[in-house]
């Protein structure tokens, strides 16, 4: 009997093409025994990752996220209307000395 692992989807908002590629690589490398993640469109994703540097609060209940890719459009939503769980954790920017790297086995 083989076990099927859940594949969860992650929507990215406000990230550049290079940042999206780095995140995608990180997800592949971090796939584990419990689950794995794939990048998906924001409107169908299980979870959404927003680049806070590109986010603006609009009014009292909406956020707007500027695109990270020049050909994309900004998106606007009311976080309380999203039918998914939300994390209220806030991340601080990392040091410029911190670099995302990918390791390959030889």
Res 103: pLDDT: 46
Residues 39 and 24 sit within 8 Å (Cβ to Cβ): yes
CA pair distance 11, 41, nearest whole angstrom? 5
Res 105: pLDDT: 45
Taking alpha carbons only, the member of 73, 39, 72, 66 closest to residue 52 is 66
10-residue mean pLDDT profile of the chain (106 residues): values are 77 92 88 82 86 86 87 81 61 49 45
Res 1: pLDDT: 61
Q: Which two tokens stand for residue 53?
A: 């540097």
Could you tell me the CA-to-CA distances from 72 to 26, 91, 98 in Å, in that order? 23, 25, 28
- Spacing of C-alpha 65 from chain mean position: 12
Contact residues for 41 (Cβ-Cβ < 8 A; gap 6+) = 11
Res 2: pLDDT: 65
């Amino acid at each position: 009997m083989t076990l099927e692992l859940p594949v969860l989807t992650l929507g990215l908002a406000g990230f550049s093409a290079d940042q999206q590629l780095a995140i995608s690589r990180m997800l592949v490398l971090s796939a584990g025994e419990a689950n794995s993640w794939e990048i998906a469109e924001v409107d169908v994703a299980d979870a959404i990752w927003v680049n806070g540097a590109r986010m603006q609060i609009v009014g009292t209940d909406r956020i707007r996220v500027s695109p990270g890719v020049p050909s994309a459009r900004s998106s606007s939503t009311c976080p309380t209307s999203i039918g998914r769980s939300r994390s209220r954790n806030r991340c601080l920017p990392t040091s410029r000395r911190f670099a995302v790297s990918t390791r390959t086995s030889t």
